[in-house]
Structure 1
C-alpha cells in the first residue's frame, strides 16, 4: 500500500470501516457474487459481498460457510429488503457473525436495521436521494452507497456524477458514503475520493474476473460490448410498470419490448385484466439472469451490465484488477498534486 499512499490515505476511513486493505467493494451481482468471486476479492484486499438475492435461509447459510472456508478476510452479505424471509436471513448472518450487511432494493422494513445491529454487524444502505440518505443514517445505517444509473442491474434515474455532487458535500464529512455506478478505472475513483467518498463500489469490472463462475459466453458478451450496448429497459405503457434494469442489448431485450406492446393491446381489447397483464410483464424475465450467467444463454437471457462494460476487455485475476485500479488512482492523484505544486 506504500506505493498507493495518497489513495490509501483518502480511503482510510472506508478501509477501517470495512476491515479491508482498500475501500473497494464489489457490488452484489446475483449468480456472480458467490463464494469464489467474493473470497477472491476479499483475499486481494477488496471487500467482497455475497449476493443473497432470492436464496432461502438454508442456501445463504451454506454460501456464507463456503465463503468463510475460502477466506479469513472480512466480507459482507447483500439482502433484498422485500425478501419474504428477510429476518430469517438476518438471523443467518448473525449466526455466522457476518461483519457487514448491505440492505438493497428499497427502504428497510421496520426493525431490520436494529436486528442486524443486534448481532454486532454494520449496516450499509443504498441512498438514491439526499433526503433518504439522511433518513437512513438517522435510522441507524452505518454507511451509505450512492449508485448512479450507469450501473448494471436495477437502476435509478440519476447519474453517478450528479448524485455525488448532491450528496457528498452534505454527508461525506461526517458519514461514510461509498460511490457506485459506471466506475471502471482508477482515475474516477480518485475523483470521488477527493470529493469526500469513503470508497467505491464496482460490479461490472469484476463480473468477468478469472475467479468469476460466469459462463464463458457471458464473459465474451462483455468483452464484445461497448458502453452504448448496456441499455436500460424500456417501459412501453404506464399501466404496465417496469423497474428499469440495465443490461446488454440482445434478442431478449427486443422481445421484452414486443411483449409489452402485445400485452397492452390485449389489455385494451379486454382479453386480460390489469392483474393478469402486469403479471405477464413481471414474469417475462423470470430466471433470465441465471440463464445468461450460468447457462450461457446470451440471446434470451438477461446480461446485466453497467456502462463501464466497454472497459472490460479480457479475463483478469481479481488481484490484478484491484492493483490496476489503485495504480490508476494513485497516478491521477500524483498528477493533480504536481499540477497544484506548479501552480503554487
Structure 2
C-alpha cells in the first residue's frame, strides 16, 4: 500500500501539469492572478503576489498616465518578477495608458470594464505585451480571440465589485469546453485550492482571486476593512439593489452596512423627487450614481466600513484571518495537492 509520502510527489507533479499552460503564459510558478481591485491592487500587494509565485496585477482604475507610470516604477522597485496592469476600456486616456505600460516593459495588459477597442489591442501586441480580456459570454470569447487577445478571464457573479449576471459555474460550462486556443483563467468566488483544481481539470489554465488577497497582510487596506472581511460570511456579500427599473444601478457586490441601507433610502427619495417634478430623469440618475462617489476609498483607506463601499466577493466567508500573501498561496497549493493525494489513496 502506498504511503501518503509516495502519493505526494505524483500529486504535486499532476498539479504542476494542470497549471503548466497558465503558469507559462504568466511567467510564474503558480497560475494564480491577483484580481485588480481599486485602491487595493497597488505596488505593495502586486509585488507581494508576484514575489510569492503568483501574478500581481496593478489596478489602474481612474489613474492618470503619470500616476500609472509612477505606480509601475514603484512596483518594479519591489519585484523582479512578472506582473500585469489592468486598464479600464472606458478610460479617456486608454491609448496613452497602453503606451505607458509598453514604455515600462510591462509584459501583460489586462483590459476590463467593457469590450477592448481593436486599436488598443493591436497597439499592446505590437509593443510586445500579451493581452488579456474578460469574456462574460462564449460569443464574446470567440470575438476576442479573433481580435488577437492572448488569454481570457471568465468572471462569475460571485466576485466582488462590479459583476455580471452569470455565475462562474455556468460560465465555465459555457466557455471552457469550446475555448482551447488560448489560456482561460476562472474568477469569482474562489477561495480554496480544491476549487482551483476542479476548474483546472475542466480545462481552465489558472484562476484569479481578489477577496482573499484584499485581506492579506501586505494589502494596504485599513485594519477595519480587513476585520470586516474576517467577520463576514458569504451571505453578507450581496449586489447593490436597484429600486426602480427607470433608474439603472450598476450591480456591485459588497458587504451589507449602513451605507447600503442608506442607498436604498436615497434611491426612494430621488424617485419621489422625480415623480414630483423636482428633478428630471437625467438629474435623478446622476443623484443616484453620485451616492457612492469616493465610497470605496472611504472604506479601504479611511477604514469607514459602515458608510463606505466594502466591495467583497462571496468567498469572503473563507477569509478567517489576516494572512501573508505567501501563506495564502501556499495554502491554496497545499489544498489542491491534498485533494489529489486523497483521490489517489482511495476510499
Instruction: Give the TM-score taking structure 2 as reference length.
Output: 0.96
Q: Is the 8 A contact 1:4 1:327 kept in 2?
A: no
Find the aligned partners of 1:205 and 1:138 in 2 and give their Cα distance. 33
- Partner of residue 78, structure 2: 70
CA contact (8 A) 1:23 1:198 kept: yes
Matched, 1:29 2:37: yes
Whole-angstrom CA distance in 2 between matches of 1:301 and 1:261: 19
Name 2:156's counterpart in structure 1: 148
Q: Which moved more, 1:196-205 or 1:261-270?
A: 261-270
Determine the structure 1 residue equivalent to 2:3: none
Q: Does 1:290 align with 2:297?
A: yes
Aligned to 1:328: 335
Counterpart of 2:225 in structure 1 is 218
Task: Give the aligned partner of residue 179 of structure 1.
Answer: 186
For 2:148 and 2:181, locate their aligned partners in 1 and report how far apart those are by CA, in whole Å.
14
How do 1:1-344 and structure 2 match up within 5 A? 4-171=12-179, 173-339=180-346
Shift of 1:243: 0.8
- Tell me whether 227-236 or 329-338 shows the greater mean CA deviation: 329-338
1:331 Cα offset (Å):
1.4
Tell me how far apart the structure 1 counterparts of residues 94 and 182 of structure 2 sit (CA, whole Å).
Answer: 26
Listed as ranges, the gaps of 5+ residues in structure 1 are: none
List alignment gaps of at least 5 residues for structure 2: 1-7
Instruction: State the Cα distance separating 1:118 from its structure 2 match.
Output: 1.5
SS at match of 2:145: helix
* Equivalent-residue separation in structure 1 for 2:133 and 2:339 (angstroms): 29
User: Does the CA contact (< 8 Å) of 2:30 and 2:54 recur in 1?
Assistant: yes
Distance in 1 separating the partners of 2:220 and 2:230: 16
Whether the 8 Å contact between 1:5 and 1:330 is mirrored in structure 2 is no
Tell me the SS of whatever aligns to 2:19: helix
After the TM superposition, which parts of structure 1 deviate over 4 Å for at least 4 consecutive aligned residues? none
Deviation at 1:175, TM superposition (A): 2.0
Q: Residue 196 and residue 337 in structure 1: after superposition, are their counterparts in 2 closer, same or farther (change >3 A)?
A: farther
Shift of 1:334: 2.6
Question: Is the 2:118–2:147 contact (alpha carbons within 8 Å) kept by the matching residues of 1?
Answer: no
2:18 match: secondary structure: helix
Q: Write the distance in 1 (CA, Å) between the matches of 2:202 and 2:182.
A: 13
The whole-number CA distance in structure 1 between the counterparts of 2:215 and 2:277 is: 46
Alpha-carbon offset, residue 272 of structure 1: 0.4
Deviation of 1:83 after TM superposition, in Å, equals 0.5
Rounded Cα–Cα distance in structure 2 between residues aligned with 1:315 and 1:112: 38
Is the contact between residue 157 and residue 164 of structure 2 (CA under 8 Å) also seen in structure 1?
A: yes
The alpha carbon displacement at 1:330 in A equals 1.2
Q: Is the 8 A contact 2:158 2:188 kept in 1?
A: yes
Whole-Å separation in 2 of the counterparts to 1:4 and 1:36: 29
